[in-house]
Structure 1
């Protein structure tokens, strides 16, 4: 068996080894698959690796194929279409009073999106031998036209799967983009044998979009028949790499971070969250909910500490920067109101570039009484799975009703409405002052049962 995979996300590579550029998400999963099966990985070359050859061999079995779009295509494909338009759509981020706008600038950007997808498909055709032992795995909303272009060159090709790590929006919201584009995206994805999501609700939303936008489609359960092709939908979340976590918790950086965090906590109970500063992570509302808790019970500022480990997106937009400023402003306000003897009531923890942010997160979780995920809409949220694995016995895990991971961890979690600050505040109070609701061993046993091989079998129906 051999894996051929495409993603916008990319790894680091050095001295014949590949590793994630950041913790969590797609890249560690792809690395694990290639370690087991070998194959080819096509991805967008990061701007910090100029001059990289078109192919990079890693050991005997893995070949990397960086795609260099150039800065103008990168801006059109990544910034304008993939991030602002498509991720904004799938995460319900558009302010519909003024967004999105399909003018000449957006049409030019869409042409750039097409061109990058065409280049990916061309490279995929070049590396594909067409053998029965090949599994083609496409990823990321950045590449939703690759199936269309690839199928035109490899008609009838089987074992082609597309996995979307994002949510999928409902038909009314999907119709914010012009009909020719939304029909084309759906039709392209239905060239695949399998389309996968982290949660059933995202798969079901995709089916409803197909039912509305493709009159000729026949939907039978989680199968779509369209244009003479059958596509199965699957809902299977990424597994947590528990083996790697078990190794990390015994490494020296864990003790370093435990010491730093213990010094900041000063003996107080800890509630932790960890997020990249993406617009859907909902940090300002989460801190505002905690502020409401301190307004009711100001004494908890001396007993509890709410910490957020945060990282910045690699290509932050103006909207991201404004969102970061809003987050920092609410943190400043809370500390001005509730800091005790100069000790912060809430904190943003930003590991330096030379620090391991994942060790920081795991160290914080091992010391915490509660963890919070209150994203507005989230495809999965791997931090929640890390929390379920690492949190001490009887700690509380609060998870947004709109995070895909809630389906996976429902019996261990307290669901929270990410838009209802009063209810979130009450859930935080219960988490910090009452007993937890789940056994650490039960959580760990379930997560250890999830494997990369099992995920691959579910996606490809092996």
Structure 2
């Protein structure tokens, strides 16, 4: 199989080592693993910052004829194609459409009294132009081989399948994977019809569409049935305009080997020692999140505050350790969220903490050791909380389940990971603070060891990048 993958996200690399992920979870590590095994091409956008700049000597960079693409051969038969796009176009594509429309749409975060707004019509041509740049580059890489598998990823590139054409116009297969949730038809319908229908008809030019869980797949099927007259929908496919698109569920696996490597690194041991000092002998509630709106940090802090209001003495027995990292591109809403979290932490500590021993702490690790801090926190936890309002997957839940030697995992029923992990976790309703507080209180006071941890770890070890790709290609049915 020859792979051509497209993602807005870019990897980093190291001399002689090829592609390296920025973290042990998510899209980029998965793609790096697959390309490392199969070889092929990776088309992505030139990063805005300089953290992913290539080495100056090896491997070399070969700009395309018009300078719009930087082509970087890497070890293992992998070639990276980084698109150089005008900054104004990137901003409208990524922030106006990608974040303020689509990211907020699929997480049910639009202010529907005001959004979508007039900026949408101005920014949509830039979204189309970026998708066209990807499709044009992929078209130059396609050979017409029947074993070619083109994998297009995430909401940034919804229009690429349409621009590549349907199966009758090519021999290889095109797949699209949606890493975010997919919202129900009533909410998806807030989009203007020309965008709503364009997204759906483009995706139905793909041969397969993948989601992290059955809920998101069914919501997509429901949108097709609602908004595309003449389409035929069943549990596993959509047939539209004579073309059948298979719909599959393929949750991202946890890279167990990388988690184990991180666990053994000196930086992880340093963070573990620091967190143990900060705990002052108390048991630990741990969470690890980007400061994103849907991660639901304020309700997690509010639930903990409610627990302490019931039983103030628990602040002397427990420490809430919240590892926080910045969002990909902050907005005024995420900045306000961070201020709200800081205010809540200060309030809880003023009421229930003592000098030098806070009841709750937000930990902001440096970029170089962020993942080491996360692994240290989850491995040392007695209780882990993952309570997003909605989340496509949430691999931190899998990390917490794998790493926690003694921790019970409280997991939102609206996290995509819940479908796989339901037998091994304690469910929480992410919008109900008092219900979350009750579950948290029970977990903090029961002292029970988590049951079935060996079975959970076995489940996580059995899934890897190859089994994920098999689901996408149809080799695993």
Q: TM-score band (shorter)? A: over 0.9
Once the 2 structures are TM-superposed, how far is the Cα of residue 342 of structure 1 from its aligned partner? Answer: 3.2
User: Hey, what does 1:31 align to over in structure 2?
Assistant: 32
Counterparts of 1:122 and 1:4, CA distance in 2:
13
Q: 1:432 aligns with which of 432, 441, 444?
A: 444
The corresponding residue for 2:44 is 43
- Shift in Å at residue 325 of structure 1? 1.0
Q: Check the 8 A contact 2:300/2:433 in 1, yes or no.
A: yes
Q: TM-score, normalised by structure 2?
A: 0.93
Unmatched runs of 5 consecutive residues or more in structure 2: 55-60, 64-69
Q: 2:150 matched to which residue of 1?
A: 136
Of residues 83, 92, 98 in structure 1, which corresponds to 2:108? 92
1:230-250 residue CA offsets vs partner (Å, 9 max, x unmatched): 011111211111111222222
CA distance in 2, matches of 1:112, 1:407: 36
Task: Give the corresponding residue for 2:58.
Answer: none
Q: Distance in 2 between matches of 1:60 and 1:429?
A: 51
Task: Report whether the alignment pairs 1:460 with 2:473.
Answer: yes
3-state secondary structure, aligned to 2:3 = strand
Which of 28, 50, 62 lines up with 2:78 in the alignment? Answer: 62
- 1:276 corresponds to 2:290: yes
Q: Would you say the 8 A contact 2:218–2:235 is kept in 1?
A: no
Whole-Å separation in 2 of the counterparts to 1:23 and 1:248: 8
What is the CA deviation profile of residues 266-289 of structure 1, one whole-angstrom value per residue up to 9, with x for unaligned ones? Answer: 111101110011111000111011
CA, structure 1 residues 258+247, in 2 after alignment: closer, same or farther (shift >3 Å)? same
2:89 to 69, 73, 81: 73
8 Å CA contact retained: 2:146, 2:171: no
Q: Which secondary structure state, in structure 2, belongs to the residue aligned with residue 165 of structure 1?
A: coil
CA contact under 8 A between 1:396 and 1:413: conserved in structure 2?
yes
The aligned residue for residue 399 of structure 2 is: 386
Runs of 4+ that moved beyond 3 A: 49-53
Q: Establish whether residue 218 from structure 1 lines up as the match of residue 240 from structure 2.
A: no
Unaligned segments of structure 1, at least 5 residues: none
- Determine whether 1:174 maps to 2:188: yes
Deviations 1:309-346 (CA, angstroms, capped at 9, x unpaired): 11102321111111111111111111111112431101
State the distance in 1 between where 2:95 and 2:106 align: 15
Look up the match of 1:125: 139
Whole-angstrom distance in 2 between the partners of 1:289 and 1:412: 22
The structural deviation recorded for 1:429 is: 1.1
2:6 alignment partner in structure 1: 6
Shifted more, 426-435 versus 267-276: the winner is 426-435
Aligned counterpart, 1:422: 434
Alignment of 1:151-230 (within 5 A): 151=165, 155-230=169-244
Aligned pair 1:441/2:454, yes or no?
Answer: yes
User: Which secondary structure state, in structure 1, belongs to the residue aligned with residue 238 of structure 2?
Assistant: strand
Relative to structure 1, the CA distance from residue 118 to residue 152 in structure 2 (aligned partners, 3 Å threshold; closer, same or farther) is: farther
Structure 1 residue corresponding to 2:276, chosen from 262, 279, 290: 262
How far off is 1:133 after superposition? 2.1
1:352 to 366, 376, 383: 366
Structure 1 residues 135-192: Cα deviation after superposition (integer angstroms, max 9, x where no partner) = 1111010000001111179824442110011000000000111112101100000111
What secondary structure does 1:161 align onto? strand
SS in 1 for 2:165: helix
Aligned to 2:389: 376
